[in-house]
């Protein structure tokens, strides 16, 4: 789907000329920022991201906004992003004339937004995209603050190697886009480390497959399992494996650090090892308190990176003024920028190059490994 041509987008915008980097007419009431994602705090995938983005905007406005004018998020989304989501992006870029865009909520939706902003010459920042191929397209308007799957996979395999030695292990991966990209990066790192899964099981997200997968893994008689799957799939597989008696090592993606995983997996999550993209700290305490007050939930890595992303953008706008090209340049020049997640340091493709540390579950809590 991600190789789809730009024809669908061009057909929607053929009557509109690309906007130059020069300043656009000022909006009278607010400084508009596009947000490509669901604006529902209870959305299962994008709720925390929305809460973090809206929190950062509210705090910026409490601090005075931009020369006394408030920032405002203009939202657009579709549960079928490649369908009506294109229209929402085009509307924000050309009709609402936002100064920058925040989004999407995962790799595929960020890819879509990237194609629109490349034509509109509009800065795009994502706090939830770990798919580096979005940045490798060399769209200079695109920035991803979440460390990419290539960094996560490298750290994960480095942690696996001394623990596995010559033990047999199995790779279990879902077929959704982000899991597929993580799996590709893991296989590259396995090859470099001269590791080879005994088996590689692929599956489509479906509750009925978990028991069958657990049976196949147990029959393989391996010492470790590597999960490259969405959060709820990973949690249910963890439960089924431990319930069936698997007592080996369990490795997985960054989603294993999130409260949603721990809520479902419970005691079965104990000892799981994963890339740790965000950890509570004294510096992050004010953010975490404000986020909990706003959402009723603890902040996860996606929320924290989105919060940092919006704050970095606001700082760039305040320095650059209302000019898309200057805003993009200031986003680039602010690197390295320090946030609640740590440093955001852009590489040449606009992806955060911060090294990834590892975490585990100890006594039911996320802790550094």
User: Strand order of the sheet with strand 142-144?
Assistant: 71-76, 31-36, 101-103, 124-126, 142-144
- HEC states along 168-193? CEEEEEECCHHHHHHHHHHHHHHHHC
Say yes or no to pLDDT of 76 above 90: yes
The pLDDT of residue 10 is 33
Residue entry with tokens 């001269």: 194
Domains of the chain: 7-147+283-344 (3.40.50.2300), 149-276 (3.40.50.2300)
Task: Give the pair of three-digit tokens for residue 20.
Answer: 């130059």
The pLDDT of residue 28 is 57
pLDDT in tens, 237-254: 999 999 999 999 999 999
Say yes or no to pLDDT of 4 above 60: no
Task: Give the pair of three-digit tokens for residue 352.
Answer: 């955060």
The pLDDT of residue 138 is 75
The pLDDT of residue 25 is 47
State percent of the chain over pLDDT 70: 92
Q: How far is CA 94 from CA 45, 48, 265, in A?
A: 27, 27, 45
**How sure is the predictor about 5, in pLDDT bands with cuts at 50, 70 and 90?**
very low
Provide the b/e sequence for 104-114 (b: ≥16 CB within 10 Å): bbbbbbbbbbb
The pLDDT of residue 133 is 84
Say yes or no to pLDDT of 12 above 80: no
77 touches 34 (CB < 8 A): no
**How sure is the predictor about 83, in pLDDT bands with cuts at 50, 70 and 90?**
confident
The pLDDT of residue 335 is 97
pLDDT in tens, 115-144: 999 999 999 999 999 998 887 777 899 999
The DSSP output letter for 24 is P
The pLDDT of residue 18 is 40
């Amino acid at each position: 789907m991600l190789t789809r041509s730009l024809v669908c987008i061009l057909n929607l915008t053929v009557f509109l000329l690309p906007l130059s980097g020069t300043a656009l007419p000022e909006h009278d009431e607010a400084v508009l920022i596009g947000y490509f994602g669901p604006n529902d705090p209870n959305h299962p995938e994008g709720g925390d991201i929305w809460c973090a983005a809206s929190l950062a905007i509210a705090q910026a406005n409490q601090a005075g906004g931009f020369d006394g004018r408030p920032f405002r998020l203009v939202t657009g989304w579709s549960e079928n992003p490649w369908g009506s989501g294109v229209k929402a992006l085009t509307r924000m870029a050309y009709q609402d004339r936002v100064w920058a865009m925040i989004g999407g909520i995962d790799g595929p939706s960020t890819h879509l937004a990237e194609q629109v902003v490349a034509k509109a010459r509009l800065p795009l920042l994502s706090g939830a995209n770990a798919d580096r191929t979005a940045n490798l397209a060399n769209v200079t308007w695109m920035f991803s603050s979440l460390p990419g799957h290539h960094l996560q996979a490298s750290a994960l395999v480095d942690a696996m190697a001394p623990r596995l030695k010559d033990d047999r292990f199995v790779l279990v991966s879902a077929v959704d886009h982000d899991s597929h990209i993580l799996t590709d990066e893991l296989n590259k790192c396995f090859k470099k480390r001269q590791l080879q899964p005994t088996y590689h099981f692929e599956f489509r997200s479906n509750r009925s497959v978990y028991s069958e997968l657990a049976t196949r893994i147990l029959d393989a008689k391996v010492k470790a399992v590597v999960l490259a799957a969405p959060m709820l799939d990973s949690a249910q597989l963890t439960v089924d494996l431990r319930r069936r008696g698997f007592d080996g090592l369990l490795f997985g993606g960054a989603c294993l650090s999130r409260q949603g995983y721990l809520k479902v997996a419970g005691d079965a999550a104990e000892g799981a090892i994963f890339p740790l993209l965000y950890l509570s700290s004294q510096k992050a305490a004010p953010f975490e308190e404000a986020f909990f007050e706003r959402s009723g939930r603890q902040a996860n890595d996606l929320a924290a990176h989105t919060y940092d992303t919006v704050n970095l953008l606001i700082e760039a706008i305040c320095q650059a003024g209302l000019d898309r090209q200057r805003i993009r340049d200031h986003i680039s020049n602010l690197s390295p920028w320090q946030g609640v997640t740590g440093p955001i340091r852009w590489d040449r493709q606009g992806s955060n190059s911060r090294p990834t540390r590892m975490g585990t579950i100890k006594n039911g809590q996320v802790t550094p490994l």
